[in-house]
Amino acid sequence: MRHPLRSVAITLFLLLLAAAACTTVPYTRRSQLMLVSESTIDGLGAQAYQEVLSKEKIERSPAAVHAVTTLGERIATAAAHPGYQWQFTVIDDPRQANAFALPGGKVAVYTGLFPVARDTAGLAAVIGHEVGHVVAHHAAERMSQNMLLQVAAGGLSVALGAQDPATRNAVMQAFGLGAQYGMLLPFSRSQESEADRIGLILMAKAGYDPRAAVDLWNRFEAQGKDAPPEFLSTHPSYGTRERDIAAWLPEALQYYQPSGAAVVSLPAIAERR
């Protein structure tokens, strides 16, 4: 006889699939399975963005704000998603050579990124990458994947209900490790690569030479600390990233208009302390 809880898990899984929407990533044309609506994930992104900013020191210097917002708006225009409420914020933290984006067009750049980016072309590679995550709906896709894994884990737990605790725990632990290293981390790396590819196109459409991305990642590699092996990381290795970017440059250069934007040095925000 089929276990009633197992039937519930299977039914829930089928309902999730029935509610899913199939979308296509811009430029790469990759198909996606979505279990959350765009309005839901955008609302969560706006909420998370405000929570992060409430805990950080916001950089107010006109030079830094102008560099990031002007460049960000150029890339957002190239992304052609007028429904998004784009917002670009500079966070005052010279120790963080980083940036992030949240659903709905919420982007933040840390001042520690300025010395590595050096100029607006380098910064365009970073912001293009972050905007690439947004237009590819990567956050919604990750949430959908996690929902499916949770249902699968619940169904497996029910199916193992008659097993002894040691066996059940061993199988569930193996499932968790398999999902982490065989699915979640590789999927995260593939999304990072996809954001790189889309970012090259967006920076080119905005008037910035996509070849600047190669120099940017060379600088990141030169100043970076020891990184974990690629299979343990959420991001591709520097070597993988540089090879992929080199392979995608011919595609991105088709969108490049050299007269589009002047390249200027970024203000030395991180060096003033």
Active centre residues (catalytic): 130
Could you tell me which residues are beta bridge partners of residue 32?
A: 23
69: three-class secondary structure by DSSP: helix
Three-state SS at 17: helix
Q: Residue 84 gets which letter from DSSP? A: S
Cα radius of gyration rounded to whole Å, the chain: 21
265-268 contact pairs (CB < 8 A, 24+): 265/118, 265/119, 266/64, 266/67, 266/114, 266/117, 266/118, 266/119, 266/120, 266/122, 266/123, 267/61, 267/63, 267/64, 267/67, 267/114, 268/114, 268/115
Q: How far apart are CA 240 and CA 192, in angstroms?
A: 11
Distances (CA, A) of 43 to 83, 84, 94, 211, 236: 13, 11, 29, 35, 29
